[in-house]
Amino acid sequence: MIKNLNKLFLTKYSRKTFLKILSFGLMSLFLSTVKSKELFAKTTKQLEPRKKRNIQTICDLVAVHGDNIETMAKKIINELGGIEKFVKKGDTVVIKPNIGWNREPEYAANTNPILVAAVVKLCLKAGAKKVKVFDNTCNEEKMCYKNSGIEKAVKEAGGDIFFPDRWKYYAANFKTNAQMQDFPIYSDAVNCDCFINIPIAKTHGHTKLTLSIKNLMGVCGGNRATMHWDIDKKLPEVLAFIKPDLNIIDGYRILIRNGPRGGNLGDVKKTSILIASADAVLADSYASQTLYQINPENIGHIKEAAISGLGSMNINKANIKTFKI
């Protein structure tokens, strides 16, 4: 091969061949740059806030006590008006559970896998084209997905569970002066027909409680640690951007101390309740009042969200149904 290369350099070229070679080289260079610019152009795509369908549920909030999570999940959605109200045929559904930590389900750090699987099954039954499940985890993602049991449960239910891809985080078009301007949002969370938010109720050192509004942090990218600065203002902005269609708070097992990561079975309390509402603020207020006996007025981000008109914090006025199975 080296000998052949030598030949290439030693032969004398006429002017014509020289020009041919030159033009060929220039052409290929030009084409390659044009093509590569197309390929590697910087993205200027910006996400717009999610368009939410106008869904009127039968009542504002449903709470179900019971022991069988699957029947509880079915009951709770039926009482709100049935899954058909939220999921139409051919829809792309995004389910956002809490898979933040590398813990087993019984430690109540992640959403109960049975509940996630039950909701996935219901969505598929209602004719959803695709059910996507993901979370931006705090610990190592593979371990979180596996040890939380959600990966296996969702796959068995027929859902689509995946790790968030770096390239799907887009800059989001928040309103000007928004605190969240520097944080990109995962595009799948916005480009979907139905967004179902399934958090687990836990205590949190900073925000006191982590419920459905706090769970939406999992669709944000960027340096999420800095999101904790002034988080009470930032979380309502995310809620206004995503506008989840349905929030189901997993209160089957809850963390009452040392949240959000837990790790002690003594900190886990079995309350056997599911709370569902189309209004994230109302669901959070109800959960904080009934599960933790904390007035939602004292929880910064819930109060902020209610003030910006994203939902109602007034439990007494709302139409609430409770059931026991």
Partner 1 sequence: MKIKIFKILIQSASFVIICFLLWYLRYPLHHFFNAALLFQLSPVITIAANFLSAALIPAVILLIITFIFGRIFCGWICPYGTVMDIVSFFTGIFKKNKETFPKKKSLKYFLLALLILLTALNFQLFWLFEPITIFARGFYFTFYSAANNLSNDFFYYLMSNNPGRITEGIYQISKSIVIENRELFFSNSLSMFIIFILPLFMLLFKRRFWCRYICPLGAVLSIIAAKSLLERKSGECIAKCGQCKDLCRMNAIKDDNTYIKQECILCMDCIQETKCINKYKSEFSFKKPIICNLQKKENPAEKKTGNGISRKEFLSWLIVSAGFIFIALKNKTGSKKANIIRPPGTSGENDLKQKCIRCGNCIKVCVTNGLQPVMLESGTDGIWTPKLDAKTGYCEYECVLCGHVCPTQAIKKLTVKEKMKTKIGIAKIQKNACISWHDGLECLVCEEHCPIPEKAVKVKKEIINGELVKVPYIEESLCIGCSICQNKCPVEGTKGIIVESL
DSSP assignment string, 108-146: TSS--HHHHHHHHHHHHHTT-SEEEE----SS-HHHHHH
Of residues 26 and 265, the one with the C-beta less far from partner 1: 265
Question: How many chain residues are in contact with partner 1, going by CB under 8 A?
Answer: 36
Answer for which of 81, 130, 163, 171 binds partner 1 (CB under 8 A) is 163
Q: Does 147 bind partner 1 (CB under 8 A)?
A: yes
Name the one range near partner 1 by CB under 8 A: 58-66, 71-79, 158-166, 174-182. 158-166
Q: Does 149 bind partner 1 (CB under 8 A)?
A: no
The answer to whether 64 and 322 have CB atoms below 8 angstroms apart is yes
The answer to whether 220 and 182 have CB atoms below 8 angstroms apart is no
Answer for which of 262, 280, 285, 311 binds partner 1 (CB under 8 A) is 262
| Closest separation in Å from C-beta 203 to partner 1 | 11
> From CA 232, how far away is CA 224, in angstroms rounded?
14
The number of C-alpha atoms within 13 Å of 314 and in the hemisphere containing its C-beta is 6
Q: Does 263 bind partner 1 (CB under 8 A)?
A: yes
Helix axes 300-307, 231-242, angle to 10 degrees: 50
CA distances from 302 to 75, 211, 232, 285, 310 (A): 27, 10, 8, 7, 10
> From CA 24, how far away is CA 28, in angstroms rounded?
6
Of residues 57 and 207, the one with the C-beta less far from partner 1: 207
Answer for which of 184, 218, 251, 260 binds partner 1 (CB under 8 A) is 260
Note the helical H segments in the chain: 2-10, 15-40, 69-80, 113-125, 141-147, 150-157, 187-190, 212-215, 231-242, 280-292, 300-307
Site string for partner 1, 209-238 (x = CB under 8 A): --------------x-xx-xxx--------
| Closest separation in Å from C-beta 305 to partner 1 | 18
Q: Give phi and psi for 185, each to the nearest 5.
A: -120, 145
Residues with Cβ within 8 Å of residue 25, at least 6 apart in sequence: none
Answer for which of 35, 53, 125, 146 binds partner 1 (CB under 8 A) is 146
Contact set for partner 1, span 29-68 (CB under 8 A) = 38-41, 43
> From CA 303, how far away is CA 325, in angstroms rounded?
32
Name the one range near partner 1 by CB under 8 A: 161-169, 175-183, 237-245, 317-325. 161-169
> From CA 217, how far away is CA 195, in angstroms rounded?
14
Of residues 65 and 261, the one with the C-beta less far from partner 1: 261
| Closest separation in Å from C-beta 183 to partner 1 | 12
Q: Does 204 bind partner 1 (CB under 8 A)?
A: yes
Name the one range near partner 1 by CB under 8 A: 90-98, 142-150, 173-181, 317-325. 142-150
Answer for which of 151, 245, 267, 279 binds partner 1 (CB under 8 A) is 267
Name the one range near partner 1 by CB under 8 A: 53-61, 73-81, 260-268, 288-296. 260-268
Binding region for partner 1 (CB under 8 A): 38-41, 43, 102-103, 138-143, 146-147, 163, 165-168, 204-206, 223, 225-226, 228-230, 258, 260-264, 267
